[in-house]
Each structure stands twice: as C-alpha cells, then as structure tokens.
Structure 1
C-alpha cells in the first residue's frame, strides 16, 4: 500500500519506513515538472569502527528529513589534492519521480543508476547525473553513492577483522535493499527494478548479477562499457602494498587496521594516490573488487569467469554494449592526470592471460598483437586506440556476453553506441588541445553564466580546438541519458535531441517491458532490437540512425578469442 503524502507551501513530504522526507519540484529539459528527493540515507555513516566494513542499514529518524538538497559524495580526490565529499552520511541516494504517488495508480518501474569513475571517483550528484532527460518517461529514477578507492575496496586477509573487501559493492547491495523496502512509498514497483551503470558502474552492475548477496533485489540490468572480466575491475587482496608505502614492516593486520581507522580522509586518499595502479601484467587497480574468502557475508567468493561458465549467478534480461572508440577517453584521462604518453606492447596483454604465459609465449603474443593491429615501430597514441579499446572494455564485454548466451535463458541485447555529436563531452574533453580550459569554461557557463556570459563561455570552450578522430568515446552515451554541467541547450529536432529521445526510450522501454522495442513501440523507434543468439550476435548500432547489424568488432574479438584459446591454460 502506498503511504500518503502531504503538500504544504510547495513542500512535498513522503512517509517511508524510516521516516518522512521532504522533497521539491524540479523541471525536466522541456520545462515539465517532476519531484526530487535527495540525500536520503540508506546506510549508517561508515566512520570510526565502521570504516572499511560492510554497511549497516540506516536508522529511522524523527521529524522530517530535508530532501531538497543533495547529500555529500563519498570521499575522493577530484584534482590534485582537492578532496571532495566526506564520510558522514555519504551513503545516500536520490529519488526522482514524475508524479506523486496515489492509491489505485499502478506502481512505476524503477531504474537504479550506479555511477562510474574507475572505483575511485564519482558520485550521484545531479550536476553529473541529472534526471532531466529520463524524467520525460514514466519511470522512477534512483541514483546512489557508494564508497570509493581505499575506503571502499581495501581487503584484509584476517576475516575476523570484518574488512573482507568489496565494501563499495556491499553499499550498492544495501542501497538496493533500501529500494526494495521503501520505493513503494514513492509509487515505485519493488518487483520491477532495473539496475544500470557505466564503466566502473557497468562492472558493478555485472558484479551484482554474480553476487549471491544481490539475489532477488533487481530484475533487469543494463551494462554499459564495463564487465567483471575487465582487468581494471580486479583488485588486490591484503595490505602489503600499503605497508610498503607507509614504510612499515608491521604484519599484524589488527594494528594496521587501527592505524588506518584513525587516519584522516586526506591521509588515506594520499596513500591511495601514491600507490600507482599496477600496470605490470596489465592494468589493475589495487583498490577494486576482489574475490573474498567463502562465507555467507561475502559479496563474491568465486572467480567471475567460473560463475559465468557454471551459470551460478542471478539470471535476468540484459542489455550490454560499448561505444565505438572507447579508448579515445584514455587520452583525456592521461592528459587530465598529467601523465606522459608511453606504450609497451607487453602491457597490452590482458592481466588474466599474461599471468599464465611463459617468456617465450609472451613474446609470441606480443608479435601477434603488433601484426594484427598493424602497429608501427614508433607507436603513436591514436594508432593504439583499437587495441586499448579492446583490452580495457570491448573484449571483456564480449567474453561476458558469450558466457551469458550459454547459461542465461533470458534475452540479451547487445549494442554499439557510435553517435558523434556536439554533446559527446568525453570525446571533446579528450581531444581538446586545452582540455582543462574546455572543462573550466563549460563548468562556469553552467554554474555562473547566464545569457550573454553563458554564450561567451561556451564559445570559448569550443574554440580550444579538437583533434579529428572518428568514433564515440568511453562515456559519450551519458550525455544523452543524463543532463550535466556540460549539457548544452537541446535544439529542438536536432540530431542530439533525436538520439537522446531514442536512447531514453530504449532504456526505459527495457525497464518497463524487459524489451527495449516491445511490439507496441516498434513503429515509434522504427526498429526491432533483436536479442543475440548463439553464433548470431545481433547488435543495435546507435548512431545517426538505429540499425541492426551482426557481430560487433568481429575481427578484433575473434583475434582475442583465438589468443585465449591457444594460450590460456586454465
């Protein structure tokens, strides 16, 4: 039964199981009103003795919670040593609804968004994940925070200390439990929940399908440019690397935990920043998901590939795909971090495969990579984009999809996002001659500029010059799902508005019907999205038009399939 709401002086109050929440009116990109409830705690503050540990459910509150302002982000470094967010109340979520709930009105499909950021950055902020596009459709949108980096993914070997890893992923499970218990108060259907995410958010969604802790908490998933089989989605157990940085030979994990729990957030993030990602034997983050020791509280205690092969996971309908040129964003990330361009073909061998190779086999694989990708002796960054796209994103998603075909009887829809438009902001950032200038001007145009000032700032942003490289970069589809500080005014009937409407319609159709192009909507979209079959990898090319094609990146995926078949010993 839906709990009643009250309206007083433009305040909108909804009564949940934990207490009352006051929201506010907001407007979608067309100026149509929707309702916003922000900063809602779904777990207790992970501070003191709770730092690094699995989350505990939020406690009930007295009075009316102010949900008219966003809650804090989980701590991370934004730029240089600038810490954003805080631990207190960072485990919060936002709920956006088109209309207030009423008895007798059917419950709405729920979409839960998990942000990306390499497990080290990001938040549910509406400045980056604005609901203004999705709120044109009759769904409920939930956006969540979860702990990042060392705070969310440190893993101790002594399970008695309660820091077994994956706290950030367990936060996501706790948020989904909150949705199951409370979303009906907002008019949402707890039995029709779609979880979707991009990059680390996409990998998180994939991990949720593999986790016994998440069983029954969702009913469909959309996995965008991320997979549990991507090497960067694999973390490191133990704290030896932390001890090396701290220059301590202490091997008592109890004492180490006590030291870490008493550090400031900035001190902890400095440790994280100064322990570089492991690029030897493939790109790997130290603070990322790990396989835990078996227990009833473990998020995941078998290797993802084993779970996918066995079919021992949460089987639901899936949308999965990538952009057409993922690694363009690699250039932007490198420039943004102040890193010089370098290339070593040995480090382009995926982590899980390279661990198994002898020195002779490694040399053979390097030669095959160079020949297949036609890499020149003086490899430039642009000539490595296809290779890096495959190893960072494409082939991991492809392998995952192949396993799901074998063991999941639900429909699986594959896509490639190839649209190139003025709102492909990740590509713009990556290819701008002065990326920081572009970001600063876009930010100021949105936050400070109005009228003439906004126009001038936008003009400056687009005058910095861009490299000419084809394809859609990692994250570019987000500009057409969410409004953000980088969003430009949507020109009516422009190609950007058209692709936004199509993408929003496909994603919300899937949330409503488990099918992105149900029969009664085929004419509206002009296409029927065919799910993949064994040996028939249909995919939807989301470009200037929607087009069904076969076998995305077919030659490149076949190359890596053959490499794995020949050299993998597992």
Structure 2
C-alpha cells in the first residue's frame, strides 16, 4: 500500500467522519448502535454505521472454524459505530489489520421510525474482491457509499476472512475449509435479521460482488445455506463456473511445513497453526506470489455443507437460487497483467519457451501438455518461443479468458435457461485505470480488471471522488442508475430509459450489452476464444449428447442475434463449421 493510503486510513480510523450534533442511533435486538453522517455525491445526508460486529472474533479455538454469531452488548450500552473497523489480515500494513475483523458497514438515508414495509428500501450487499487474499469492505479504501446513496437504496459492505485464515483445508474430514464463505453467509443472515431497523427491506436484497467477490456470489447462488437470503445478484468479473483446479490441501501442507507445523493429521495441523501469529501466516503465503500474476491459491471446497457439489453442476441442472442476474466484465480484464515484467527479458523468454510448464500453474488447471499446447497455439502461435512487447497482451488475454471471461460466459449459458440474465461488457475507456498502458497524454488505452467498479463506488484505488465536471461522470450516473433500478425491480432499465434496449438472456436468446459512450446490443463477445475453453474444459454436468445439443442451441442463438444486428455472414460461417465439425 502506498504511503498516502496509510495516511488516509490512519486519519479515518482516528477521527471518523461524523460532524453531526445529534448522531443517529438505531436500536437492534443486539443493543443500540450510534452512527455518524456522511454526504453522498450530490450532497444528500447518509447515515453511516460502520464496524458493527456480525460474528465473534475468529481467534483462539474459533480460528479455522465456522463463524459464531456476534453476541449482543445489551440495551444499557451504545455501540459506537462511527468509523471503519480494522481489515482482515492480508499482505499490507499490519497495524491496520486484526483478526477481529468480522464487521459490517451499513449506509442508509432512511431512518424513518415508522415500521411500514412499504417504506423499506432495496438493499445492496457488496462482497469485495481480491483473489481471496486481499480487500475489504472499508468505506474509504474500497467500498464508499457516496455514489449509490444518491439513489433510494441501503448499502451494506463487510469483511470476511482471507487467505489461509479463511480457506485453510488440511487432509481429513474434520476441518472442511470455506470459512470465508461461511462468514459471508453469516453476514447475509445479519442483514436479514437487522436491516429493517436501518430502513432496508430484508425481502429485497441484491447480492453484489466484484472479482473474487463475484465468484463468491456465484457460489451463494449454488449454496443451499444462502437460499432465501438474497433476491437478485450482480456479478462483476468473476464466477466459479470455470475449470479451476483447486488444491487447498496442498497449500495448507506447504504453509504447515514452512512454519514448522505438522502436515497431515487435521487436528494436529490446525492446533499448531492456531498458535502461529497471523502476521507470520500472511508473510509466508505472500512469499509464494513471486511472479505477481493473478491467481487464486485459496478457494472454495466442495464440503457437502456450504457446497454439496461443483457449482457448475448445480447451475447446469437448475439447482440454484433462480434470481434475476446482472453479469458483467470489462473488454480487457487481465490483458495487461504481464506488462509489469516488460523489462524482465529472462522471465519473458522463459515464459515463452517453457509455456507448457508454466501454463497449468498460471491458468489453474491440472498439468496436461495437450491443453497447454492448444492454448499456446491459439493465443500465441505454435512457433512462438518468446514473450515480448509485440505479443504480451495476447499472453495476457489468456489470463483474461481463463481466470475471468470463460467462467462468466459459462455462468450465463447455464443460468439463462432458468432465470433472466442481463449480460454486459464494459468497453468504455475512462480517464483512470489500474492496469491499462497509457498514451502520450497519460490516458489509458483500454479498460482493465476492476476499472468499471470505480463508477459504482469510490475508493482510494482510483484516488479522490469524481469532480462534478469529470468527463467520466456520465458513466457513474449510468451504472448506479442501472444497479439501483435492478435492485428495486430485477431489471436494469427504468421507464425513463425506454428508448434504450437491453434484453435479458433466456433459454432461447443470448445477447450482450456493449457499454461504451453509446450502448449497443449484439451477440456475446469473444465467441471464438471461449469456444477453445469449452473444448478443453467441457461442462462436467452435460454428457456428450446433451452437451452437443446445448452447443448447437448456443450457436444458433448467436447466429440469430448476429443476423438481426447485421453481422450474420461471418458468424454464419463460424456456426456452420462448428455444427458440422463436432
């Protein structure tokens, strides 16, 4: 983290942000909670309640265990929820972190004492991203409410356990991992039980995730534990319906070995690791990320509890929460992930010449030379032996598709048969980007991973809140309008936008909204690229005949949409070849 971030966070933690003479107080069954006030982008008063515990601190015997609900503090005390809590342990500045981090932030403009259900507002609950090892629901660092709270919604963000502390999985059946996801379930239960006291409607909750948070949302779609806790879902740049080879046991054993703990017997492993300082655990795991490439070493477990079977199988058979979905990604996602190594010629040469050896670890699949060769041939060319400035973004597009895009594509293809899915790709290149290279005027040349999130909530990743004359302001207004309307109705467009056109994907039709300065609806993007991943990693739940029929339906739908939009000739050739050749 840069020094300015440290200074901002320390300032916030020290003084909060409340200057109201009469701070807001809400009475919960747990006890009374005192908040503070903030201002929305348009200057509306936000009642902010930050750092409310939703679970007991996961320390001692609760480390590497399912979360336990927070206990009340009684009606005699008032909990001061006037500043963000410390964030969960992760690589960064340890003094800003604590294992006592399972806290929730609630932002509302509706503290009307009347308990009329008709006055309750839709609730948006945000699950942060960060590859399951980074991030938080902190209102300054990542999850500011200022843009969304210009609309009639209640906004909730929270922390959950990360890295080994959230996803450790030793051998045996006594410790089954998924602690971070169980934290999320408990946070959703807290929202169900208490959000009405903040003016939110517990019967109208939209679950919203970004990156690893979006992957988490897809898992909550599939999990029986999350049924009924949310009623719509927004997924930005992530889904668990992909090919990932997950081996939490391997990483658990590696961690145990490196800190001198037992490696095999679950009870011994866990008891030893409970005595290791969290700072040491984070330090050891951070050292594994030597190449700085995006990956997910800690991930979900099929544990028979949170997740009975693979999420792809559950979605394929319709065994999931069939709520309206808004699913999006960016045009360039992780295309620029390798650019950090442009000056590292030895590494780039080795990545090119030894692609087949690197690829399984980088793109998260079991070692298979035929898969590696197919990926290299398609993205780089069979004769390529060097990664350079000439082809480094094509190399990056393998990360874009393998880590992000194909999983989202598969989610849409599976879910649309059971529920409406609004599918979007953000093509708009704004003035700020976390990863895109820049031109001579220091303006981004593309729209990378998480660049669209800056239009939904302000964060220190992108610096200050937009100025009133910022050239990207229209995109912030557009996305927050769409998200708020989706949270209220299950569709992104309001009656005021009837001239716009964004049809949902359904069992017979698949369309994508291309979100640029102007919007346009057309066939889904990157079909040839995702077809390669479909070929290499076929949907497990669909047998040969069913899979072939589903592929045919997908291609026919693509051709029909393409014909309607005037680009059918090229896709027709592609579709005919695919139908004849499989």
Q: Which TM-score tier does this pair reach, normalised by the shorter chain?
A: 0.7 to 0.9
Counterpart-to-counterpart distance in 1, 2:166 and 2:288:
16
Hey, what does 2:415 align to over in structure 1? 404
TM-score by length of 2: 0.80
Hey, what does 1:527 align to over in structure 2? 500
Counterpart-to-counterpart distance in 2, 1:564 and 1:545:
35
Deviation at 1:219, TM superposition (A): 0.5
Hey, what does 1:205 align to over in structure 2? 217
> Match of 2:92, SS?
strand
Tell me whether 1:109 sits opposite 2:117 in the alignment. Answer: no
Counterpart-to-counterpart distance in 2, 1:250 and 1:473:
39
Return the match for 1:46 from 58, 62, 68: 58
Hey, what does 2:422 align to over in structure 1? 413
Hey, what does 2:98 align to over in structure 1? 86
Tell me whether 1:119 sits opposite 2:132 in the alignment. Answer: yes
**CA deviation string 1:212-270 (max 9, x = no partner):** 11111001101100010345694523632223334566533222211110111111112
Alignment of 1:101-250 (within 5 A): 101-103=112-114, 104=116, 106-127=119-140, 128-160=142-174, 163-230=175-242, 234-237=246-249, 239-246=252-259, 250=263
Alignment of 1:267-306 (within 5 A): 267-276=280-289, 285-292=296-303, 294=304, 298-306=305-313
Counterpart-to-counterpart distance in 2, 1:284 and 1:144:
23
Deviation at 1:275, TM superposition (A): 4.0
**CA deviation string 1:14-71 (max 9, x = no partner):** 0012111001111012222111111011000100000011101110013110011111
> Match of 1:159, SS?
coil
Counterpart-to-counterpart distance in 2, 1:355 and 1:473:
27
Kept after mapping to 2: 8 A contact 1:353/1:564:
no
Root-mean-square deviation (CA), in Å?
3.3
**Cα distance, 1:237–1:284 mapped onto 2, change above 3 Å:** farther
Counterpart-to-counterpart distance in 2, 1:539 and 1:226:
16
Hey, what does 2:488 align to over in structure 1? 512
Counterpart-to-counterpart distance in 1, 2:433 and 2:124:
24
**Cα distance, 1:334–1:192 mapped onto 2, change above 3 Å:** farther
Counterpart-to-counterpart distance in 1, 2:206 and 2:530:
28
Counterpart-to-counterpart distance in 1, 2:108 and 2:245:
32
Kept after mapping to 2: 8 A contact 1:232/1:283:
no
TM-score by length of 1: 0.82
Return the match for 2:274 from 239, 253, 261: 261
**Cα distance, 1:67–1:386 mapped onto 2, change above 3 Å:** same
Counterpart-to-counterpart distance in 2, 1:138 and 1:262:
46
Kept after mapping to 2: 8 A contact 1:220/1:317:
yes
**Cα distance, 1:324–1:350 mapped onto 2, change above 3 Å:** farther
Hey, what does 2:6 align to over in structure 1? none
> Match of 1:490, SS?
coil
Alignment of 1:527-546 (within 5 A): 527-534=500-507, 536-546=509-519
Deviation at 1:285, TM superposition (A): 3.3
Q: Which moved more, 1:204-213 or 1:320-329?
A: 320-329
Kept after mapping to 2: 8 A contact 1:202/1:224:
yes
Kept after mapping to 1: 8 A contact 2:429/2:446:
yes
Hey, what does 1:472 align to over in structure 2? 447
Deviation at 1:148, TM superposition (A): 0.4
Deviation at 1:383, TM superposition (A): 3.2
Kept after mapping to 2: 8 A contact 1:203/1:233:
no
Counterpart-to-counterpart distance in 2, 1:240 and 1:322:
34
Kept after mapping to 2: 8 A contact 1:233/1:284:
no
> Match of 1:413, SS?
strand
| Structure 2 segments unaligned to the other structure (5+ residues) | 1-18, 545-582
Kept after mapping to 2: 8 A contact 1:375/1:384:
no
**CA deviation string 1:182-211 (max 9, x = no partner):** 001111110000000110111011111111
**Cα distance, 1:425–1:152 mapped onto 2, change above 3 Å:** same
Hey, what does 1:56 align to over in structure 2? 68
**Cα distance, 1:535–1:555 mapped onto 2, change above 3 Å:** farther
> Match of 1:431, SS?
coil
Hey, what does 1:73 align to over in structure 2? 87
**Cα distance, 1:158–1:193 mapped onto 2, change above 3 Å:** same
Kept after mapping to 1: 8 A contact 2:104/2:156:
yes
- Count of aligned pairs: 511
**Cα distance, 1:353–1:535 mapped onto 2, change above 3 Å:** farther
Tell me whether 1:309 sits opposite 2:312 in the alignment. Answer: no
Alignment of 1:315-330 (within 5 A): 315-328=322-335, 330=337
Counterpart-to-counterpart distance in 1, 2:487 and 2:539:
40
Alignment of 1:318-357 (within 5 A): 318-328=325-335, 330-331=337-338, 342-343=351-352, 344-346=354-356, 347-348=358-359, 354-355=365-366, 357=368
Kept after mapping to 1: 8 A contact 2:433/2:447:
no
